[in-house]
Amino acid sequence: MKILITGGCGFVGTNIALYLSKKHKVDSLDNLSRKGSKYNLNLLKKNKVKNIRLDIGQLDKIYKLPKYDLIIDCCAEASVEVSRVDLDKVINTNLIGTINILKKAKKDKSKIIFLSSSRVYSIEMLNKIIKKKNLKKTIRTDILIDEKSSISGAKSIYGLTKLGSEMFIEEFSYAFGIKYIINRCGVISGPLQFGKQDQGFISLWIWKHENNLKLNYIGYGGYGNQIRDVLHIDDLCRLIEIQIKKIESINNLLFTVGGSKKSFVSLKNLTDLCRSFTGNTIKIGKIPRTSTYDIPYYITNNRLVSKTYNWKPKKSIFDVVKDTYLWISNNKKSLKKYF
């Protein structure tokens, strides 16, 4: 199968490209604007994955690309906070970019796998799960988010662009017969991720510990008890490989996909893990308040995707931290300019 991966030099795109290139002809599309993309580009070149340096907003040039059997759309400005300060960038990349890919798929009769986000869900709904502004103690982990959870109300402009993309995919499928899969992913982490505060916090936490740099617990009292589930990138790659094999018979479906109860962590627990791997204890400050876009809790219900594909995450949060730590510690000098 001939596959195009948009955002192919990003963290998710690179890992998927390297994984699938063992069995498929894979090309990447990436404008290389993101910090760390050139590092990943070198890995793709070594594995004979060609990158087409092109902005996803340039429809005329996208139309001129070769025909692909499948497009995996990973291209996104993934920072929730950036969506408040650079509207045009987020809308053009996340929404207009996906629409352009849909137009290309319509022209070539390509199938699509779209990487959406858990941030399509209602901020109010997620805050109501906990009902506390100050999380002094470890919080409950028995409520899971699935495809039926509320998307009504504010979700961040980033989340809105991903939800809008989902809706355009469904409409193009209905109107033009495009076969698709949508994966609404929570936090994804692992090697090749250059983390920031609101995007890739696992690798950021490890990097800061490894280099004895200061960190802060931000929001909800500054206690570090907020929780996210974390999906190892290898588990996502494995799922996508299964979805590709079955896309002719299983398609036009939307799934919540995440680490679920197999792999979740609070910032406080993550700190303990990072200390044990790096041997370093760093100063962690306390900032009680946080962005209005922040959420205290998210754990995925994988019931539907597990039932459909007989797939479950294999790797725990310990595995996620371990594999990311080994990548960082083994490549510390070459990674320094990207963090």
Predicted pLDDT at 199:
81
CATH of the domain at 44: 3.40.50.720
**Which residue shows structure tokens 């510690």?**
329
Tens digits of per-residue pLDDT, 27-79? 999 999 988 999 999 999 999 999 999 999 999 999 999 999 999 999 998 88
Percent of all residues in the chain with a pLDDT value above 90, rounded to a whole number? 90
Q: List C-alpha distances in Å: 177 to 64, 82, 172, 218, 263.
A: 22, 34, 7, 46, 36
Tens digits of per-residue pLDDT, 144-200? 999 999 999 999 999 999 999 999 999 999 999 999 999 999 999 999 999 877 789
Predicted pLDDT at 326:
98
Count of positions (residues) in the chain: 339
Three-state DSSP class for 239? helix
What would the mean pLDDT of 106-118 be, rounded to a whole number?
Answer: 98
Domain tally, the chain: 1
Range of the domain at 97: 2-338
| Angle at CA of residue 144, ends 138 and 149, nearest 5° | 130
- Give the separation between CA 161 and CA 88, rounded to whole angstroms: 11
- Give the separation between CA 15 and CA 17, rounded to whole angstroms: 5
Predicted pLDDT at 86:
86
The rounded mean pLDDT for the chain is 96
Does the reported pTM lie above 0.85?
Answer: yes
Tens digits of per-residue pLDDT, 237-287? 999 999 999 999 999 999 999 999 999 999 999 999 999 999 999 999 999
Q: Where are the alpha helices (DSSP H) in 81-211?
A: 82-85, 87-90, 97-108, 123-130, 157-176, 201-210
